[in-house]
Structure 1
Amino acid sequence: MSDLYALTVIAHGSELPQESLEEVKALLSDKLAVEKYTSKVLSKRAVDFFFKAPNPAEIQKILKDELLTKFPQYDLVFQLESSRKTKKLFIFDMDSTLIYQEVIELIAAYANIEDKVAEITERAMNGELDFNESLAERVQLLKGIDASSIWEELKHKIEITNGAKDLCTALKKLDVVMGVCSGGFIPLAEHVKGQLGLDYAYANVLGTDENLELDGTTIGPIVNGEKKAELLLEIAKNHKIDPKDAVAVGDGANDLKMMSVAGFGIAWNAKPKVQKLAPSCLNTKSLLDVLYILGYNEEEITKLTS
């Protein structure tokens, strides 16, 4: 007998119009050949459909193609129903995920080289450049910047992503272990950890010289895609959590590896290549919508975030 699967439909706007639901129903019947399904309204913006899926990999492929081409106005997240509320570990990327900015570009602005750094960052996040090489190239451009007060100044400039605090509040109530694994830099990763009540923070360390200026190097292991995956598995092992009960959330190509070793991955307003390769995509305005993916309705979310 086939397992029961859930298809969560999340609107990007303020509500999910009836015509959108009709499109999804047609998608289920015509494209996916689903003969029988049930549905559950989670909110005005989100609905669950449940059905048996003999060929889940084929369905996932069709949904990906439809999502990225025909139905850009909402997200379709397909997963095994029994695994939705068993999540025990969440590992987040930081830049452009838990915060809106790319920290390295904020630092670059101090030396008026933001455009140069941003161009390299964009190519790296799209998977066009090796992350380690791109990081070394960008860090070299930062050489000579006064590091004596920059981190305190940047703490006041970074903006936490909408919904991130409420999501972390809810996950903590659900006894989920949380961490940030960032290709950015540890002072701000630690700051975000404190702001959101996370359990772990890992990121890169910038080298400084005797004048407390950035020396154009990093110190210690680079937190690249491989390292993020290793850290996720290490944290899971330390807490005796099966990796299948872990979720990785990020926006860049260097987040795909940790998504692959976790039980589930969510590409948050991600680069096009990442959207195509990630297990699921969320392109809304609030990270709190992750709770819809986990199967919680509006009433339950209100209780979890209060």
Structure 2
Amino acid sequence: MSEEISCVITMISHGDDIIDITSEDVQDFISFDLHLETDIALHSYRCQEWYVNIKSSEFNSILQKCKSNCVGKDYDLILQKSEDQKNKKLFVFDMDSTLIYQEVIELIASYANIEDKVAEITERAMNGELDFNESLKERVQLLKGIDSTNIWKELKEKIEITNGVKPLVKALKKLGCTLAVCSGGFTPLAEHIKEELGLDYAYANNLGVDENLILNGETIGRIVNGDIKAELLLEIAKKHNIDPKQAVAIGDGANDLKMMSVAGFGIAWNAKPKVQLEALACLNTKSLLDVLYIMGYNEKQIEELIK
């Protein structure tokens, strides 16, 4: 006989509040579609939780039903075991379109007016339609001839950190979490983001240059692809004696799926369809600070954490 496990279903609104009819719809979904009895808690105008007991053999099917229920809706539903909700010790973030709004390689491409061409390849790669290594090689070759003398200094002024990232990082550090950025982008900006936010680790790719600091169309060293991101997550966890089940991977592209698969929890942040389909949780809101709702913190607790 399958054992019952205590779980929590978290609803996070994409807007400024949860309208009553939405809350009622989700309650009906849990009661009549999932056939579960619930206790309910309201964490804010935008977040509500239902506490449920689920047979372990049914967890995966209920998870998929929760994700399917959200398609086309103005909220996300996240299912997790209650014991895991706050027990998260390591966070590994993607950089481009996650910690920052832009794709750095497209910003570099704009110096040669080829951003549209590079963006098309990036989109296909992040959707999982192209091999990441091959797509990176193809895009980097297009950058050949761009003068990189001042490019990193200029790009540091152009990149925009995603809404909610700074207070989220502050809160996670206060909670004692280890934080890393693992990016398929480039080291100078990954290191900049690490220093700007106070992260513990930064890993990314390196662009080759000639003696005049002109991009030579090649990368140097290992490629930080999906496999390497997963390896780095496990490496950091081992170094800090953290069980990978206590790790969270957050990203938007197909090359983030492998690190999500080795982590205990994966969050697809405003992600490509393939990633939303495969990740354990989806977050399609306007602020990454909403990760704290997923962790079970209410509005008052969040205010204390980000002071």
1:67 paired with 2:70, answer yes
Letter paired with 2:71: L
Q: Number of residue pairs matched?
A: 303
Structure 2 partner of 1:155 = 156
What secondary structure does 1:184 align onto? Answer: strand
Structure 1 distance, partners of 2:42, 2:65, is: 23
1:180-236 deviation line (CA, Å, top 9, x unaligned): 000000000000011111000000000001111000000001000000000000000
Unaligned runs of 5+ in 1: none
1:21 paired with 2:27, answer no
What secondary structure does 1:156 align onto? Answer: helix
Structure 2 distance, partners of 1:61, 1:92, is: 24
Structure 1 partner of 2:129 = 128
Structure 1 distance, partners of 2:230, 2:164, is: 25
Matched-pair contact (CA < 8 Å) for 2:91–2:180? yes
1:78 paired with 2:66, answer no
Correspondence 1:32-111 to 2 at 5 A: 32-34=34-36, 36-54=37-55, 55-69=58-72, 72-111=73-112
TM-score (norm. length: structure 2) = 0.98
2:12 paired residue among 1, 10, 13: 10
Letter paired with 1:7: I
How far off its partner does 1:58 sit?
A: 1.1
Letter paired with 1:60: L
Letter paired with 2:63: Q
Letter paired with 2:87: T
1:27-63 deviation line (CA, Å, top 9, x unaligned): 00121111x2101111000011000011111101111
Matched-pair contact (CA < 8 Å) for 2:67–2:78? no
Percent of aligned pairs with the same amino acid: 64
Structure 2 partner of 1:291 = 292
Structure 2 distance, partners of 1:63, 1:75, is: 9
Letter paired with 1:267: A
What secondary structure does 1:210 align onto? Answer: coil
What value does the CA root-mean-square deviation take over the aligned residues? 0.6
Unaligned runs of 5+ in 2: none
Structure 1 distance, partners of 2:44, 2:31, is: 23
How far off its partner does 1:68 sit?
A: 1.8
